[in-house]
């Protein structure tokens, strides 16, 4: 079914575990495939994006086997030199992380590969990774001078360099670190603001030297020892349920075993500023990543300003934070978020359109949105082929009186195929 029907309002109660973090899962698969020996990744993310990365490393000759429980995989790495030239096109599907990290990964391999993706991914900018990878020594060509998939890459001998990134992008930073692990000398990446740091944490946890000072990260050529990792729950997936619990009546919801990486849970600070009753309870640490429980209870929300260095830390949560803003008293302004326009869809346009469809005053800006909170009404909403827009629309529908229909629901499979089943678990009366 490509439509999801919600009859709101619905209270959310109880506890839930969301699937493994998507960003950590991609990195674990890439690094395990290049590691020396067999690695084990537990609680691997279940969506189509991570399946694209798995298929990519398998196409490079890596054996990945499922074991019980189902979300545990064993990855037989043969070192960087064990990776082989693929015989077919590497299909990255809808996954920007597969494509960008994949380019950095392949930049140092002495063979040819072609990366392609779906219509959405083929529109997304790749020059941001292609140009610095060319500087390191990789040969990359493709549409728009190499800005768009399909891209052809011939990797080879790389020499480390220093990069000052124009945007705070963890994908670009990681692509360069993956290339830097295969380059002679030192590769140094300077970000203009803090971005998610899963790569740095994972490398350090498995014993690969990484140095960090402020927003500068440095790596040199290194082999990767085999490792085991328990991937914590994805906070970006948890955010949908947490916001739903805040805006739906009589709700109290606990998300357990979720990543508490500070570069990923800044949305909790934003929600607290809006008056949300959200509690964070630390649990432990796995492979350098802190995890724990987040609890949310029905709250009266007010508007806020989200801007500047906070933006890269909440970039994937902005669609659902916009929904929280739609249910809040007063104005919420999102600034400095031009990156939102080049995600799976133009999320500035898509979110503005869907909020307007709910009767909420929303204005699209070049670098964000202005939202005047009000009383959203149920209706027909669209996913715009974007998993996070689809889930944000469901969250809004949960807070509205009456029946809503979310069209293009299948997009949810990109990051959270179990979303509907999990929603049923916590909305049982």
**Residues taking part in catalysis:** 316
Structure tokens at 284: 């432990």
Rounded Cα–Cα distance for residues 251 and 13 (Å) = 5
Rounded to the nearest whole angstrom, what is the least distance from the CB of residue 261 to ligand S3P in the complex? Answer: 11
Rounded to the nearest whole angstrom, what is the least distance from the CB of residue 228 to ligand S3P in the complex? Answer: 21
* Closer Cβ to ligand S3P, 256 or 316, answer by number: 316
Helix and strand counts by DSSP (H, E) for the chain: 15, 26
Rounded to the nearest whole angstrom, what is the least distance from the CB of residue 123 to ligand S3P in the complex? Answer: 14
Alpha helices in 75-207 (DSSP H): 96-106, 119-123, 127-136, 143-146, 170-180, 198-206
* Closer Cβ to ligand S3P, 23 or 235, answer by number: 23
Beta bridge partners of 164: 190
* 110: DSSP letter: S
Rounded Cα–Cα distance for residues 321 and 323 (Å) = 5
Rounded to the nearest whole angstrom, what is the least distance from the CB of residue 15 to ligand S3P in the complex? Answer: 26
Rounded to the nearest whole angstrom, what is the least distance from the CB of residue 23 to ligand S3P in the complex? Answer: 3
* Closer Cβ to ligand S3P, 97 or 187, answer by number: 97
Is residue 248 a contact partner of residue 9, using CB atoms and an 8 Å limit? yes
* Closer Cβ to ligand S3P, 37 or 125, answer by number: 125
First CA to last CA distance, the chain: 24
Give the burial class of 55: count Cβ atoms within 10 A of its Cβ; 0-12 exposed, 13-18 middle, 19 or more buried.
Answer: middle
Structure tokens at 388: 């996070």
Nearest CA to 398 out of 198, 180, 246 is that of 246
Nearest CA to 182 out of 114, 113, 104 is that of 104
Rounded to the nearest whole angstrom, what is the least distance from the CB of residue 319 to ligand S3P in the complex? Answer: 11
Count CB-CB contacts under 10 A for residue 401.
12
Rounded Cα–Cα distance for residues 236 and 18 (Å) = 10
Which residues are near ligand S3P by CB under 6 A? 23, 97, 169-171, 174, 195-196, 315-316, 339
Rounded Cα–Cα distance for residues 26 and 28 (Å) = 6
The contacts of residue 278 (CB under 8 Å, 6+ apart) are 242, 246, 268, 271, 272, 294, 295, 296, 297
Count CB-CB contacts under 10 A for residue 110.
12
Asked whether the bond before 9 is cis by omega within 30 degrees of 0, the reply is yes
* Closer Cβ to ligand S3P, 148 or 400, answer by number: 148
Rounded to the nearest whole angstrom, what is the least distance from the CB of residue 53 to ligand S3P in the complex? Answer: 10
* Closer Cβ to ligand S3P, 10 or 48, answer by number: 48
- Geometric angle at alpha carbon 277, from 332 and 428, rounded to 5°: 105
* Closer Cβ to ligand S3P, 301 or 414, answer by number: 414
* Closer Cβ to ligand S3P, 271 or 340, answer by number: 340
What is the full DSSP assignment across 24-37? HHHHHHHHHHHEEE
Rounded to the nearest whole angstrom, what is the least distance from the CB of residue 155 to ligand S3P in the complex? Answer: 21
């Amino acid at each position: 079914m490509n439509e999801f029907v919600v009859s709101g309002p619905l209270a959310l109660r109880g506890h839930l575990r969301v699937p493994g973090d998507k960003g950590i899962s991609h990195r674990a698969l890439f690094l395990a495939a290049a590691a020396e020996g067999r690695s084990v990744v537990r609680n691997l993310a279940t969506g189509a994006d991570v399946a694209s990365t798995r298929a990519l490393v398998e196409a490079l000759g890596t054996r990945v086997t499922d074991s019980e429980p189902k979300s545990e995989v064993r990855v037989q790495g043969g070192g960087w030199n064990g990776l082989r030239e693929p015989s077919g096109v590497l299909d990255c599907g809808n996954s920007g992380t597969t494509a960008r990290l994949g380019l950095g990964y392949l930049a140092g391999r002495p063979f040819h590969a072609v990366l392609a993706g779906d219509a959405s991914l083929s529109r997304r900018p790749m020059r941001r990774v292609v140009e610095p990878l060319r500087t390191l020594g990789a040969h990359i060509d493709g549409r728009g001078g190499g800005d768009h998939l399909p891209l052809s890459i011939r990797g080879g001998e790389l020499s480390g360099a220093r990069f000052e990134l124009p945007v705070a992008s963890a994908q670009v930073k990681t692509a360069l670190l993956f290339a830097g692990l295969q380059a002679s000398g030192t590769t140094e990446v300077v970000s203009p603001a803090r971005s998610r740091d899963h790569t740095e944490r994972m490398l350090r946890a498995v014993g690969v030297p990484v140095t960090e000072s402020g927003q500068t990260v440095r790596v040199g050529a290194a082999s990767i020892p085999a490792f085991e990792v328990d991937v914590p729950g994805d906070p970006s997936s948890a955010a949908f349920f947490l916001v739903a619990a805040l805006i739906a009546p009589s709700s109290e919801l606990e998300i357990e075993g979720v990543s508490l990486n500070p570069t990923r849970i800044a949305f909790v600070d934003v929600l607290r500023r809006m008056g949300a009753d959200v509690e964070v309870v630390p649990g432990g640490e796995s492979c350098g990543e802190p995890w724990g429980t987040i609890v949310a209870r029905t709250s009266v929300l007010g508007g806020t300003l989200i801007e500047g260095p906070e933006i890269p830390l909440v970039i994937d949560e902005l669609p659902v934070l916009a929904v929280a803003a739609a249910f809040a008293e007063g104005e919420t302004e999102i600034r400095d978020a031009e990156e939102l326009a080049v995600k799976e869809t133009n999320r500035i346009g898509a979110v503005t359109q869907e909020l307007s469809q709910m009767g909420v005053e929303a204005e699209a800006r070049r670098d964000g949105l202005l939202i005047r909170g009000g009383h959203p009404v149920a209706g027909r909403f669209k996913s715009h082929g974007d998993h996070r827009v689809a889930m944000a629309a469901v969250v809004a529908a949960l807070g509205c009186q009456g029946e809503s229909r979310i069209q293009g629901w299948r997009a949810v499979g990109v990051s959270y195929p179990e979303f509907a089943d999990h929603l049923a678990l916590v909305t049982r009366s």
